[in-house]
Structures are given as C-alpha cells and as structure tokens.
Amino acid sequence: MDISKHAKWIILFLFILGVALRLQVDGIYVDNPGTIKAADAFYYVLSAENIAETGKYGYFPYYITDGSDDMIDAHVPLMLISGSGLTSTSGLKAWNTVYILVCIIFSLPIIIAFYFAKRLFNSDHVGILASSILVVPLFIGKWWYLMYIGMWTTAIGIALAFVCFWLVYECVNAPKDWKYIMLGLVSIGTLLFHFQDLIMIAPLILFVFFNLWKIHKLTKDFFKKIGMILIPNIFFFIFYFSRFYTVFTSGRSSFGWQNQVFTNAPYYVNINHLGYLLLGLALLGLLLMCLNYKKYIFFIGTCIYFSFYLYIFPKITAAAFDIMRSRFIIIFIAALFIAYAIYFFVINIHKYLKLPKITMVLAIVTIFIVAGLPGQFALVEQMKSQHLTPEKYSVMLWIQENTPKDARIFFLDGYFQHSNYYSKRVSTAPEIPELQKHINKFFATQNLSLEFNTGLGMSTELGTSFYSCKKNFFFLEKMCFEPSEDIQKITDFDYVVIAPISEQVVPYEKAMADLLMTKYNYTQVYAQHGTLILRGGK
C-alpha cells in the first residue's frame, strides 16, 4: 500500500478527531455558559459577547469597569474578535464560539507535527506517528490544562508558536516565497492572540533573517523576503501597538531580573509529565538524531534554545510566571522525537519480521489513541461542573431583563470566579476566603458584618492595563480612572443576590436576608431554586 497517497487523509481524520475530543472536555452548552470553568474565560467570553452585541471593539463592557464605558481593553484582540464574528453571524453564544476556536487552534499541532516530521525525517510514517501522539496525549489533565481551565489565549499562543517554529524550520531548510508570507502571517497571529509566545519564537525568526542575509547579502531578494515576513506585522504597529505598549510598561509584563523560587502550580508542566515510557522514547529519538547530528543540527540547536528559554530563563527573570507557561510547547516538540524513536523500532521489525510498516504504524496510532481515552473520559467527567448552571444563569437573565442598566448588584454567595459579571451589571461577589470569614464570625457571635473586602470590577483579574483610556488613535492615557474601594458595604447596593451554596450556610444567608429586609427596607423580588434577589429601598 502506498502510504503517501493516504497519509494526509489519515491526518485529516486525526485532526477532526482531535478537535472533537477537545470540544468534549468543556462541552458545548447552548442555553447556559457551562463551558466556562474559571475567571479568565468569563472575561474573554464577556468581551467577545460585548463586541458582538455593540459592534464596538477595544473597550471593556461598562459592567466590568464600574460603569465607565470608555476604558480601553488592551488585551490581545484576535481571539475576542474571532469569537464575536462567529457569534454575530451564527447566533451561537460567545462561550461556545470562542471555545470552538480555541479547540480548533489548539488542535493545529496535529497537522503541523505531520508536516514537521515529514520534512525532518522524510517519512509519512513518522509524520502519522507524531500526529497521533497529539490527538489525545497521555496525562491530558496536565497537557490540556490551559485549554479546559480557560487560559485560552495562552493555549492558542503556544499552538501558534509551534506553527511558527515549523515555518522557521521550513524557511531555513526548504525556502519558498509562500513560506515567508505564511511565517509573517502566523507570527502576527501569534502576537495578536498571545504576544508573549512570540517572544519565545522571535530569536528563531531573527535567525531566518540572518540566514537570508547569508544567502542573498543586501540584495533586492533579501529585502523582498524580509518584507514578506514583516509586512503582515504592519497590522500590529498600526492597530495595536499603543495598547501593547500600555500593558508592557504597566509593570505586569515587566522583564526585570529576579532570582525566582518556584512553587508547584497546575499551569506549569514539565518534561516528566510525558510519562516514563514516552520520555524514554523521546530521549532515544534525541539520541538517534544526535548520532546523525549533521542532518539535524538546526533542529537540535533550536531545542537547546527552547531548553534555555523554558528552564534557565525563568530562574532569573521577573516574568517567570509567564515564561514557564510556555512549557506546554514541550509535548508538540517531544512528539517528533517520540515518533522518530518508534519508527526506528518499526523499521527494524520490518527488516527482520517482514511485517508491513503501515500495519505497524496504524496499530501504534490506535494504541496511542486508545491509551489516551481513559484520561479523556476522566477529564470530561471532572469538567462537568459548571460555574453558571441553568438555574444560576436564569437569575442572571432575570437581572439583565428586569433591572436598570446602572443598577449595582451584590452577590452574597454561590457566584465565584467572576461569574457574577454575567448579570451584565456593575457587581461584586466576595471570594470564598472572605465569605468564609464572615460565615465563621456569624456562627461564633451571631453578629452579621455588612462590610466586605471585595473590590468592584475585574481589576484584580485584568491588571493595570485596565486603568487607561483613549487619548487619540495612537496614544493611551494611563490611570485616568480610579478603581473602586476595596471595602464594599452590602447596603450600598441596589440589589442583593443570595444564592445557595451549602446546607450549613443557609442560617447565615437567612439571617442576612432578614436583616436587609427588616432593617434596611429591602424587598424580595425574585425567589427561585433557592435563590433570592432583594431590591434596596433607596
């Protein structure tokens, strides 16, 4: 059987399967935002939804910024705009469209691994093996963390950084004009989906420039090819640079030097999360490549650079938190080594036992996918929990439809991780430790405290990029907005939502509702599924 005729169809199947398995993890929810599992995703979805609803790009929704509607949103724009485009045209809610886009882009390395391996090892078999490793990798709880928890721009950025890496390799080893143009487009895509990941790739792109200079010197061809890479970046400089600059100089993304001490965190992965078998195979693949180092010198050199960037650099920079998240790229690169090592065994078995290579390759592909499925099923089960269940979401819809736009809402219980912003009103919800403090105090003293340590807006989540507004097209003015006080009094709010979280907390919630209604003239306007909404008497 001639594999070259069918290899790409196999890859298409693996890619579609990969997208389907990723979509299954958080799930597609038509009626309520069950797809969203954490705070970051709430912000992305609300921003995308805001663009779809208002048609206005680049400003935070007023309910995130304590009521101001001219606050600049300096976050990377492409994911929000892409998602809003699909929402606006299809009517499917933004929590689904953004997640679908994330899953598609996060699956692109399945295709790229094939092309990369094929170029490196000149074999379709290795390409298929490399792709199959990425369809549903072992330990997906680790490797897919960014995707399913909602750190979506990071997940996309890392996938696109891998595409950039492959295009850099192509531009150096098999240069063609269209590859330069694609490198330009994908690099600007990476920058505008998650610019931090382009920092990892930037030295490699500079190497492409150097290589071009070596070949063409300062001739017309050199500038033409450089132009192909750089011209798409005009989009960045004209339409986004001022926002980028505001974030970059805000202190949140500073690149100072600092000796770091790391703690374990779920958003960091390590090479050992490949598992001992795959790690062993990856090392064997590396060894085999080193034995033939003349052929693979550029690839091995690049991997040494990645090791430095991902392991040494974070130890000395203040941006370690961001850089270490890029370690998720390891599995994409490791897949190439692993596939090569497996192919080494396939060739030898073929030589001595005369088993057809394609049969062995397809059997291994099946084993990889089947081996990953238990992890997939477990993850799907684990991610079934929702922040905004249909019941909770119906409260949000009630608020959207029945309260004035400038109403201020206090969520006493049950709405965490910024899910309260789906009320689309200026609101606050104390986080669990703060709430626990109040509950403990109530059970100990029977006294209710009305003051909560909880700021308005998503300021903690969004960082200082939040506090800027537009001066003119190119420049932003920093700090033209004063964030709200950290201490908020519940009776200052127009509406109070009291949602059930557990049986033990019910006496506290009941006491608070009674106090607000008897002493502060609040009236009950909504009571369903155990959730109360009280309207202030002001």
Partner 1 sequence: MKKKLLTILGIGLFFSFFIGAFTHDFNLAFKFGLAYFILYYLPLVPWMMLIKEFSDLDTAFYSIILGVIVSPLFYLAVGALEFRLTKTVFIAIPLIIFVLGFLMHFRRKKEREKPKEVLEKKEEVKILKKPTESPNTEKDDSGNS
**Separation between Cα atoms, residue 296 and residue 117, nearest integer Å:** 12
Query: Nearer Cβ to partner 1, position 108 or 269?
Result: 108
Nearest-approach distance from CB 85 to partner 1, in angstroms: 4
Total residues found in the chain within this entry: 538
SS (H, E, C) 35-46: CCCCHHHHHHHH
Tell me if 205 contacts partner 1 by CB under 8 A: no
Interacting residues with partner 1 between 344 and 363 (CB under 8 A): none
Interacting residues with partner 1 between 238 and 277 (CB under 8 A): 238-240
Binding mask 110-129 for partner 1 (x = CB under 8 A): -xx-----------------
CB-CB contact of 27 with 385 (8 Å): no
The beta-strand segments (E) located in 110-162 are none
Q: Kindly indicate which of the ranges 53-61, 244-252, 339-347, 499-507 contains the residues binding partner 1, using the contact rule CB under 8 A.
A: 53-61
Tell me if 201 contacts partner 1 by CB under 8 A: no
SS (H, E, C) 490-510: HHHCCEEEECCCCHHHHHHHH
**Separation between Cα atoms, residue 163 and residue 109, nearest integer Å:** 7
Tell me if 3 contacts partner 1 by CB under 8 A: no
**Separation between Cα atoms, residue 185 and residue 187, nearest integer Å:** 5
Nearest-approach distance from CB 97 to partner 1, in angstroms: 8
When binding is defined by CB under 8 A, the residue of 16, 265, 349, 487 that contacts partner 1 is: 16
Nearest-approach distance from CB 185 to partner 1, in angstroms: 6
Query: Nearer Cβ to partner 1, position 55 or 256?
Result: 55
Tell me, by CB under 8 A, how many residues bind partner 1: 50
Q: What is the DSSP string of 443-455?
A: HHHSPPP-EEE--
Residue 520, helix vs strand vs coil? coil
Tell me if 46 contacts partner 1 by CB under 8 A: no
- The phi, psi pair for 394, rounded to 5°, reads -65, -30
Tokens of 74: 């300096």
Query: Nearer Cβ to partner 1, position 86 or 339?
Result: 86
Q: Which helix (H) or strand (E) holds 534?
A: strand 531-535
When binding is defined by CB under 8 A, the residue of 88, 260, 394, 453 that contacts partner 1 is: 88
Tell me if 55 contacts partner 1 by CB under 8 A: yes
- What does DSSP assign to residue 329? G
When binding is defined by CB under 8 A, the residue of 19, 46, 205, 532 that contacts partner 1 is: 19
Nearest-approach distance from CB 116 to partner 1, in angstroms: 13
Tell me if 30 contacts partner 1 by CB under 8 A: yes
When binding is defined by CB under 8 A, the residue of 56, 224, 471, 489 that contacts partner 1 is: 56
**Separation between Cα atoms, residue 198 and residue 202, nearest integer Å:** 6
Tell me if 108 contacts partner 1 by CB under 8 A: yes
Query: Nearer Cβ to partner 1, position 71 or 185?
Result: 185
Nearest-approach distance from CB 54 to partner 1, in angstroms: 8
Residue 446, helix vs strand vs coil? coil
Nearest-approach distance from CB 390 to partner 1, in angstroms: 15
Tell me if 8 contacts partner 1 by CB under 8 A: yes
Tell me if 12 contacts partner 1 by CB under 8 A: yes
Tell me if 32 contacts partner 1 by CB under 8 A: no
Nearest-approach distance from CB 317 to partner 1, in angstroms: 29
**Separation between Cα atoms, residue 133 and residue 142, nearest integer Å:** 15
Q: Kindly indicate which of the ranges 83-91, 248-256, 312-320, 356-364 contains the residues binding partner 1, using the contact rule CB under 8 A.
A: 83-91
CB-CB contact of 209 with 226 (8 Å): yes
Q: Kindly indicate which of the ranges 19-27, 335-343, 363-371, 376-384 contains the residues binding partner 1, using the contact rule CB under 8 A.
A: 19-27
Q: Which helix (H) or strand (E) holds 408?
A: strand 408-413
Residue 101, helix vs strand vs coil? helix
Which residues have CB under 8 Å from 301's CB, separation 6+?
A: none
Tell me if 57 contacts partner 1 by CB under 8 A: yes
Nearest-approach distance from CB 163 to partner 1, in angstroms: 7
Binding mask 157-196 for partner 1 (x = CB under 8 A): ------x--------------x---x--xx-xx--x----
Binding mask 410-429 for partner 1 (x = CB under 8 A): --------------------
Which residues have CB under 8 Å from 446's CB, separation 6+?
A: none
Q: Kindly indicate which of the ranges 76-84, 206-214, 220-228, 403-411 contains the residues binding partner 1, using the contact rule CB under 8 A.
A: 76-84
Buried b (16+ CB within 10 A) or exposed e, 368-395: bbeebeebbeebeeebeebbbeeebbbb
When binding is defined by CB under 8 A, the residue of 61, 232, 285, 314 that contacts partner 1 is: 232
Q: Please state, as a whole number, how many other Cβ atoms lie within 10 Å of the Cβ of residue 323.
A: 22
Query: Nearer Cβ to partner 1, position 232 or 457?
Result: 232
Query: Nearer Cβ to partner 1, position 383 or 534?
Result: 383
**Separation between Cα atoms, residue 268 and residue 330, nearest integer Å:** 11
**Separation between Cα atoms, residue 59 and residue 236, nearest integer Å:** 18
CB-CB contact of 158 with 146 (8 Å): yes
Q: Please state, as a whole number, how many other Cβ atoms lie within 10 Å of the Cβ of residue 277.
A: 11
Q: Kindly indicate which of the ranges 49-57, 246-254, 432-440, 511-519 contains the residues binding partner 1, using the contact rule CB under 8 A.
A: 49-57
When binding is defined by CB under 8 A, the residue of 1, 2, 91, 263 that contacts partner 1 is: 91
**Separation between Cα atoms, residue 347 and residue 340, nearest integer Å:** 10
Which residues have CB under 8 Å from 470's CB, separation 6+?
A: 70, 72, 476, 477
Is the CA virtual torsion 303, 309, 314, 315 positive or negative?
positive
Chain residues binding partner 1 by CB under 8 A are 8-9, 11-12, 15-16, 19-20, 23, 28, 30, 51, 55-58, 77-78, 81-82, 84-86, 88-92, 96-97, 100-101, 104-105, 108, 111-112, 163, 178, 182, 185-186, 188-189, 192, 232, 235, 238-240
